[in-house]
Structure 1
Amino acid sequence: MNKFLEEVLEGLHSEPKYLLSKYFYDKAGDKLFQQIMDSEEYYPTKCELEIFTTQTHELAKTLKNGFDTFDLIELGAGDATKSSHLLQQLIIEKANFTYYPIDISKSMVAHLEEILPQKIEGLQVTGLNGEYFQMLEKAAQISSKMKVVLFLGSNIGNVPINEAEKFCKTLRSHLKKGDYVLMGFDLKKNPQIILAAYNDAKGYTKAFNLNLLKRINKELNADFDVTCFDHYAMYDPETGACKSYLISLKDQKVKINNADMIYFKENEFIFMEISQKYSINQTDELAIASGFKPIKHFLDSKSWFLDTIWECV
C-alpha cells in the first residue's frame, strides 16, 4: 500500500476524522495556495517578505555572527522568494557560505540549483531533496562548518504547541552549540484579521481544502462528491489555534481504492489543518525549552509577524 493511501485511510477511519495537510500540495493545490497568498486577506507571506526586504542588512549581519564561513540551510525552501533577498545581501557583503535548500519536491530543488546561481552571481547552491532531519544529517556529513538554519513562513505553526516543542528539540539535536536558527512565527492579533486570512472572500481557502478530496478521488480511486462538503475555519484567541475543517453536509458514504468504505454522518467533520499563532513571549519560551537562546527579534511594520533568531546553547 502506498503511503498516501495508507495515511488517508488511517485518518478517515479515525475518530474524529482527519487528513494530513502535507497532501494539499498537488499541481492544483500549489496553484490554489498561490492564489491564497496573493489574496487581499492573507497577510503572513506579505509581512515576512517585508522583513526580508526592509531589514536585509541587519538580518545578514546578525546571522553571520562574525563567522568567516558557514552553511546556510533552509528547511522547506520552496521557490526561495523571501530567502533570496538574504542570499543576495550575503553575497554583497562577501560572506563565504554555501546555500543548502531542503525541500520534499525534487523538481523544486533542481530548479533552485539551476536558477539561483544565475540570479545571484557567486552563489554556491547544493540542493537536498528529502525530509528535513534526514537532509540536515546529510548536510552535516557534507560539511562541518557552522550552520545557520532558516525555517520561514510560520511553518512551525502547522502543528500544535506541544508538537512544535518536540520539533524544535529534534532540530536542536541535529545542530551544534553556537549554530543559529531563524524561525518565522505568525503572531496573535485581532481575531477577525486572522480568521479572514483562512476564510478569504473569494473562496480560495475553501477550494484548497476541497481540492484534497479531489486529489484523493484522482489518485486513490475514491468517489467523494465535493459538493457535499463545506469548509469551516475557526480561531480561538485564547489558545492562538486557527483550525480548518471540512463538514459533511449529509449522511453519506465514500469508497476509496475501490474497496474501503468510509461513512460520514451529517455535520461530521474532517480536521484538515492547524495554523498556530504565538505571542512573542511564547516564542522565547519555546526557544529556551528546546535548547536555544533568543538573540534578536525582527518584526514587520504592523508587528503581525516575527522572524526570531535563536542560538544553540
Structure 2
Amino acid sequence: MTVTIEVHLTADYLSQSLRRDVKEGLTSTPKSLPPKWFYDADGSVLFERITALPEYYPFRAEREILADRAAEIAATTQARTLIELGSGSSEKTRLLLDALREAGTLHDMVPLDVSESALREAAEAIAADYPGLRVHGVVADFTAHMDRIDGDEPRLVAFLGSTIGNLPPDERARFLSEVRDVLDTGEWLLLGADLVKSPDVLLRAYDDAQGVTAEFNRNVLRVLNRELGADFDVSAFEHVAVWDPEHEWIEMRLRATEDMAVTVPELGLDVRFAKGEEMRTEISTKFRPEVIEGELAKAGFEQTSRWTDAAGRFSLVLARAV
C-alpha cells in the first residue's frame, strides 16, 4: 500500500480562515456565512444522511451517470492520474477508479482536501482497495492551492457533486481558470453540475420533510459556538430555503425567530439579530447547459461530452484543456 501525504496548510490555516470568514460575514449587510463551515464531523454525518433522502436527487443522479459513463470517460481521457477535489473514498470515486484501472491506464490517485484527517482516511481506504495504485494526498484548499496538484500525465481532475454551484460567479470563473492553469493542453476536467428545473423539486431537495437539511444548516452555528466561543441559541434559528429565479440558485438561510444579541468572544464581536432577520449560509447554483459550456470556454476548456441522468436532472461534463 503506497500512500504519501503532502501538507500545504499551516497549523492555524483553518482557524484563521474561519475567523476571517465569520468576522466579514457577521458584520456585512445582509449577514452571511460560507457553506464550507457546515462540514465538521457532525456536519459531515448529516450530509451523508442528506444524500440518502428521497428528496435529494443530486447524489443519486450523478452516481447514475458515472455508472453509465465511467468506461467512456476512461477510454476518452486515458488518464494516468485521477485528481479529486474533495477527498472522496465514495462509491462515485470508485466508479472512476474501476473504469480507469480496467482501461489499463491508472497509475496515480491524488485526493485534495483541507482536512488532513479526512484525507488520510480516504487515501488509506483507496490504497487498501486498489493494490499497486500510488495515492498521493494533498492537504490544501482548492480555492487557493490548485498549483500544488501533480501526477503522471495525462491527468483527469474530478470536481463532482455540483460543488461548483456553491461558488458565486466571480469565484467560479477564477476557480475554473486556476484549474486550467495547472493542466497542460489536452488534459481533462470532469465537472458535476446540477441543472435548472422546477422550483418545487429544488425546494424539496433543500428543505426535506425529515428536517435533516435544517439540522445541517443550523450546525454551522454549533461550529461557531465551539470554535469561537459564540453563544448562538441554535434552536432560535429556523431553516429557510429560497429559490432565486434571477440568479437561478437556491439560497439556504437561517432566520432569527426573535430579537437577540450574540457575542463572539474570539473575535470581539457583539452581533444583533432582529426577529425575522435572515442570514445566508449557502448558494447552490443550478445551471443551463449553455452556461456551463460558456464558462468552461472562457476558462480555456473545450466541452467534449455532456451527459445527464435518465430524468435529465443533473449533468456531468467532460472538458479538455485547449
How high is the TM-score relative to the length of structure 1?
0.92
Alpha-carbon offset, residue 188 of structure 1: 0.8
Alpha-carbon offset, residue 238 of structure 1: 4.7
Q: Distance in 2 between matches of 1:135 and 1:5?
A: 20
Which of residues 78, 87, 96 in structure 1 aligns to 2:88? Answer: 78
Q: Does 1:232 align with 2:223?
A: no
Q: How many residues end up aligned between the 2 structures?
A: 307
Q: Does 1:44 align with 2:54?
A: no
Equivalent residues of 2:81, 2:108 under 8 A apart: yes
CA deviations over 1:176-234 (Å, ceiling 9, x no partner): 21111011100111211111000001111111111111221122111111222111111
Which of residues 100, 116, 129 in structure 2 aligns to 1:119? Answer: 129
Q: Does 1:308 align with 2:317?
A: yes
Q: Does 1:56 align with 2:56?
A: no
Q: Does 1:192 align with 2:194?
A: no
Alpha-carbon offset, residue 121 of structure 1: 3.3
Indicate the larger mover: 215-224 or 75-84.
75-84
CA deviations over 1:43-97 (Å, ceiling 9, x no partner): 1011011111222211211222xxxx63221111333431211101211221142
Q: Distance in 2 between matches of 1:282 and 1:42?
A: 23
Alpha-carbon offset, residue 37 of structure 1: 1.0
Against the structure 1 CA distance between its residues 81 and 108, is the aligned structure 2 distance closer, same or farther, given a 3 Å change threshold?
Answer: farther
Q: Distance in 1 between matches of 2:195 and 2:290?
A: 10
Equivalent residues of 2:62, 2:309 under 8 A apart: yes
Aligned residue number for residue 292 of structure 1 = 301
Alignment of 1:70-219 (within 5 A): 70-132=80-142, 136-140=146-150, 143=151, 145-219=153-227
Alpha-carbon offset, residue 29 of structure 1: 0.8
Q: Distance in 1 between matches of 2:96 and 2:311?
A: 21
Q: Distance in 2 between matches of 1:88 and 1:296?
A: 20
Aligned residue number for residue 34 of structure 1 = 48
Equivalent residues of 1:250, 1:267 under 8 A apart: yes
Q: Distance in 1 between matches of 2:106 and 2:294?
A: 32
Equivalent residues of 1:74, 1:149 under 8 A apart: yes
Indicate the larger mover: 80-89 or 115-124.
115-124
CA deviations over 1:269-311 (Å, ceiling 9, x no partner): 1111000000111111111111111101121111111110111
Q: Distance in 2 between matches of 1:310 and 1:84?
A: 20
What is the root-mean-square deviation in Å for CA atoms of aligned residues? 1.8
Matched residue of 1:100: which SS? strand
CA deviations over 1:83-129 (Å, ceiling 9, x no partner): 21110121122114211111112122212332213222332211111
Q: Distance in 2 between matches of 1:111 and 1:307?
A: 27
Equivalent residues of 2:77, 2:154 under 8 A apart: no
List gaps (5 residues or longer) in structure 1: none
Equivalent residues of 1:76, 1:103 under 8 A apart: yes
Q: Distance in 1 between matches of 2:147 and 2:21?
A: 26
Matched residue of 2:91: which SS? coil
Indicate the larger mover: 16-25 or 80-89.
80-89
Alpha-carbon offset, residue 170 of structure 1: 1.9
Aligned residue number for residue 16 of structure 1 = 30
The residue type paired with residue 305 of structure 2 is K
Equivalent residues of 2:34, 2:281 under 8 A apart: yes
Against the structure 1 CA distance between its residues 160 and 137, is the aligned structure 2 distance closer, same or farther, given a 3 Å change threshold?
Answer: closer
Alpha-carbon offset, residue 13 of structure 1: 1.1
Indicate the larger mover: 100-109 or 276-285.
100-109
Q: Distance in 1 between matches of 2:126 and 2:272?
A: 48
Aligned residue number for residue 278 of structure 2 = 269
Alpha-carbon offset, residue 10 of structure 1: 2.0
Q: Distance in 1 between matches of 2:206 and 2:143?
A: 29
Indicate the larger mover: 260-269 or 158-167.
158-167
Alpha-carbon offset, residue 134 of structure 1: 5.8
Matched residue of 2:204: which SS? helix
